[in-house]
Amino acid sequence: MALKCHHAGQPPHHKTKNVGRKSGGAGGIRTPDTVFRPYNGLANRRLQPLGHRSGARNLTSTGAYVNAISRKAGTKVRALGWQARFAPTFVWVYGVLNKAIMDTTPSPVAARAEAYFRDLQQTIMQAFQAFEPTATFTVTPWQKKPGERLQGGGTMAVIRGDVFEKMGVNFSCVHGTFPQPFRKEIPGAEESEGRFWASGVSLVCHPKNPHVPITHMNVRRIETSRGWFGGGADLTPSHPYAEDTAHFHHALKQACDAFKSTAYHEYKTWCDEYFFMPHRNESRGVGGIFYDYLEDEAPEKTFAFTQAVGSAFLEAYLPLVEKRRNQPVTEDDKHIQNVKRGRYTEFNLLYDRGTRFGLQSGGNTEAILMSLPPNAHW
């Protein structure tokens, strides 16, 4: 199912659709009646900086454009639908517009990354749907309203079934301005005066059977005055099995080894450090990989690695679901699972970067908190 983006300025559909199997098919995803087009990013703006030479350069974006003919008196400038004639004051206008444009236009790789993330969400939905004979994904499009600090939108897809008590996978593509105190925490945000563009996919799965581990995966592209890829995948079992942990790590290591020889060791260590809970003096789970700030010295290589992580995650996790989903369960098993879910909740609300990024940037609260389990014990 391909979800297309609303053009900016068009009203989004705020309808929730159940996405199920195609009739007669196995594990297919049916396209919902509502066609939703999440904001397709600044990458679709054809923006160019104004030049210092005379002659025309077109700057176009959705709902606003500037057509500069020359800097001489009598030049026509069209912006936000207004016609204006002015003389050398164009120099001032040039400075303001050029700075805003250059600070908010993402790199060429952003459009490709956004398209990949949208497709990855659909691939994940199809793979997880295959485990659920009756339950289907509820897909909820969301779009920020004009005038809000954050612009753009995405889709939240959640399934609650016999195998997955709660599993969600979200896609988003947004842009906006970070609040002043948060800018110093994001590379390049102070230089861009808080302006940013971001797109990605985030997944959290809380299985019903306690012997199937909780898992999390995220891949993303963020751009300020700098641009980078980040992401990773990790495992949080309530009943750890050494062979399951080894399988999960092996699949991720293969993706890392194809990127660079030191990647697995570096990103595994980063994951172990990131998912440590100081207030409990314990790790959230058995780790995985975590990486961030892979900047664009070699954008094709870092983008290829991010795609490899998306593919490796399915190979790492789904065999564990198949292996453990029918294992016998006791009341004690469920209690241990719910205590572990409590630990998971603590980490996400106290330390998780994605949660903080989403809330500080004005994101969709329901989508951000999708990661929380359906129930937990303390």
Residues marked active site are found at: 216
Burial class (CB within 10 angstroms; exposed 0-12, middle 13-18, buried 19+) of 14 = exposed
**Residue of 106, 115, 111 lying closest to 47 (CA atoms):** 106
Contact 229, 218 (CB under 8 A): no
β-partners of residue 204 are 168, 216
Helix axes 299-324 and 242-259, enclosed angle (nearest 10): 160
User: 151: part of which helix (H) or strand (E)?
Assistant: strand 150-159
What single DSSP character describes residue 17? E
Tokens of 240: 């750890």
Burial class (CB within 10 angstroms; exposed 0-12, middle 13-18, buried 19+) of 151 = buried
- Dist CA 328 CA 210 (whole Å): 9
